[in-house]
Chains A and B, each alone.
Chain A
Amino acid sequence: MEKLKSIQELKDYRERLRARGTSDGKTPDGKAIVRACCGTACTATGSKKVIETLEAESARKGIEVEVVRTGCQGLCQKGPVMRVEPQGIFYQRMKPDQAAWVVSYTFQGGIPYRGGLWRQDVLSEPVSQMLDVPFYTKQVRIALRNNGTIDPGNIDHYIAMGGYAAFEKALSSMTPDEVLAEVDKANLRGRGGAGFPAGKKWAHVKKSGSKIKLVIANGDEGDPGAFMDRAIMEGDPHSLIEGMLLCAYAIEGQYGLIYVRHEYPLAVKNLAIAIKQAGELGLLGKNILGTDFRFTIDIREGAGAFVCGESTALIASVEGERGFPRPRPPRLSEYGGGAWGIPSNLNNIESYACVPPIVEKGASWFRSIGTENSPGTKVFALTGKVKNTGLVEVPMGMSLREIIFEIGGGILGDKKFKAVQTGGPSGGCIPEQYLDMAVDFDSLGKVGSIMGSGGMVVMDEETCMVDVARYFLSFTQSESCGKCPPCRVGTYQMLEIMNRICSGKGVPEDIEGLEKLGKSIKKASLCGLGQSAPNPVLSTLKYFREEYEEHIFDKFCRAKVCKGLGTFTIDHDECVLCGLCKRACAYDAVKETSRSFFIDQDYCNKCKACHTACPIGAVKIDKASPAKVVALQVDPKREAK
């Protein structure tokens, strides 16, 4: 690759690429293009084998095809997915033996192979175009604009798709202040969770007056249930680089760092390739495109600490220290606050990826999408008990119902919706009554949750809300860095109480105790981790209090998730006398008579083994027998209240 020495050369380079047609659907010699997803999920479901077979089969038949190995295309549930152009046929759940059919039907015959198409259910007509699949119809892709189309390992693809055009525009016709003003006017709010306006943050850093400034990208996506940053780093690393370049140009920064968590090896690999290629083309380094603007990017790998996603802890980790957060001020944007004391601008990966389209198309275009106070789109990782799991990018202000039931296709197994958890371990659970609420930064806050990084975990009637809250608490408790006592000791105590409730040993004071502890932890903790750790418990206490009460007073878990709760009986009308429950029971509680099985309550340890073992669901779990409820009611502790 030859270095581009001026802005004009970049323009010419793009024109040359476009004339060669590497990316817009057809190659000039009429070769079919297969855009096969090679994201982590599709690789796990075997996309590599499918591609190999596809290539071998087409070579055998003498057909030339071009396979583009793209990043995540979003519909992870139905992987491996691929798109065949120029017809634009979308294939899902491909298996290696189906690849041969695709070759003969689509490459030779030009028609779709029906066996690989998406369909609503077995009886409905298959859909061949990607945009006709309901999962994709309602999406608007800004941050993920190139994901699934380009090969992340080839900078030419990105440039041909209009990449680095925003940077080119900024360099040739905008001053740094104009770029900053444009981002500020667009009101791009930080996609990492807090929603702080990026323009304001940039202005702060600029105001520090330091000659040297750092531009840091936070790719420590630790929230369980969120993977949009991973998709961008793996599938479209250049959009991140261009976003950082624009930021550096606007705030006059010189050095860039990308902090990536170590669980994402492919992201590190693709980013390294992208940085190398951008350097070779002269888009990174000194005298970029013949101007005196200079910018370089280094990658730093994390080492498995969730708290390092917090800005000050991330800085500590970059400096090679323990990842402890520290009190602010000084803020990162001030002298003495950033990495090695240098004023630094820290944004989330997705925020940076949104910058190039804003600069290229203007702030008013960006503001026309989404809501008044939260313009633009947001990528959500839709997971949990929903039919279509994967990455979705929708305009802000779309209702939860649309996201879950139209894009997500509804609840798995057509069960009943119970709640959706947003914002990862720092967020809260939103019950059914708010399904029609428009999703943006402010509305989620109002109902006790947060936008967070955009994880959206759907739960159905078989999910126990107490157990889910306990799960999140156990996560934050184990990830607490231990620096400040409210978080270190408080989350531990809360978890103890939650464990007690889930194992059927809860006492009536526990609910109040949880609320009191939760509020103190929120107020007294040093960093965002502690301040938000009680959120899952507090929000479930608010909306699903009756489940907590059931666990404590009735010793019953309605979702039948928690062990050690309920009374186990065998329904003799349903029982087929297979004896599996007896075999499963480790406590000899299942007794056998000549014509039936029954559970001896004195021996039963409520371990649920029989319930799991029963093939037809004849082992029932019910609330404690009336006699026990009476016994509870005369409990002196409760009487006293």
Chain B
Amino acid sequence: MKVEDLDIDARIGRVGELLGEKEKKRGLLIYAFQQIQKEFNYLPEEELKALSKKLNVPLSDVYSTASFYKHFYFKPRGKNVLCVCTGTACHVRGAGKILEKAKETFKIEEGETTPDMSLTLETVGCVGCCGLAPVLTINENVVGDLTPAKVDELMKTVGEE
């Protein structure tokens, strides 16, 4: 979604009936970030500036809020996002090895993107799929019961894409 398409009254929900104009606009900030990120894969500066104007929130505040949350990025991300879960269950069952394997294969550190922009490597606290630990997610698909060997295979298919 682009900033100009943001419909404040429709998106704030029923609770908007209680709120003033200012509160409504502020309350939409995080939702707006999510929508912008869906469209651009990150939060481009121009969009944030436009958002700041539209919602009447100072740009510094916009940045302050966006940078607080782990989910928002200010740099473009790769076409695919590989996210290794490092939750407790995954940690105990060897997520460290999986992460190392992934780093080794793509030669990037966590939080980085490959130079050809095909893949970003990230870690997440927990994807709530602890029954299958260790797990990772590729874009939105969860892959479980991993071993370093299985990761190797998986990497090949991701690499080809």
Contact = CB atoms under 8 A, between A and B. Distances in A.
A319 B126 contact: no
A222 B125 contact: yes
A17 B131 CA distance: 35
Nearest to B85: A224
B119 interface: no
Nearest to B125: A224
Given A224-B87, A457-B89, A459-B92, A303 B30 contact: yes
Contact of B131 (A76, A263, A304, A305): A76
A479 B125 contact: yes
A380 B68 CA distance: 30
A230 B129 CA distance: 10
B128 A40 contact: yes
A227 B125 contact: no
Nearest to B90: A224
Contacts of B135: 44
A455 B125 CA distance: 14
Contact of B126 (A225, A297, A303): A225
A376 interface: no
A304 B18 contact: no
Contacts of B140: 265
Given A384-B92, A457-B92, A303 B33 contact: yes
B27 interface: yes
Interface string A29-56: 0000000000011011100000000000
A390 interface: yes
A227 B130 contact: yes
B87 A225 contact: yes
Interface stretch (A320-328, A437-445, A527-535): A320-328
Q: How large is the interface on A (under 10, 10 to 19, 20 to 34, 35 or more residues)?
A: 35 or more
A77 interface: yes
B34 A468 contact: no
B30 A320 contact: yes
Contacts, number: 163
Contact of A322 (B65, B89, B92, B129): B65
A322 to B, nearest CB: 4
A457 B133 CA distance: 11
Contact of B128 (A264, A319, A421, A479): A264
Interface in B4-62: 12-15, 17-19, 23, 26-31, 33-34
A323 B68 contact: yes
Q: Which of A43, A305, A383 has the most CB of B within 10 A?
A: A383
B106 interface: no
9 contacts: A224-B90, A224-B126, A225-B130, A263-B128, A303-B33, A303-B72, A305-B69, A455-B130, A481-B68
Given A40-B129, A340-B18, 8 more contacts: A40-B142, A44-B129, A45-B144, A296-B14, A320-B30, A321-B26, A383-B130, A457-B89
Interface of A: 40-41, 43-45, 75-77, 79, 212, 214, 221-227, 230, 255, 257, 262-265, 296-306, 317-323, 340, 342, 381, 383-385, 389-391, 421, 424-425, 455, 457, 459, 463, 468, 471-472, 475, 479, 481
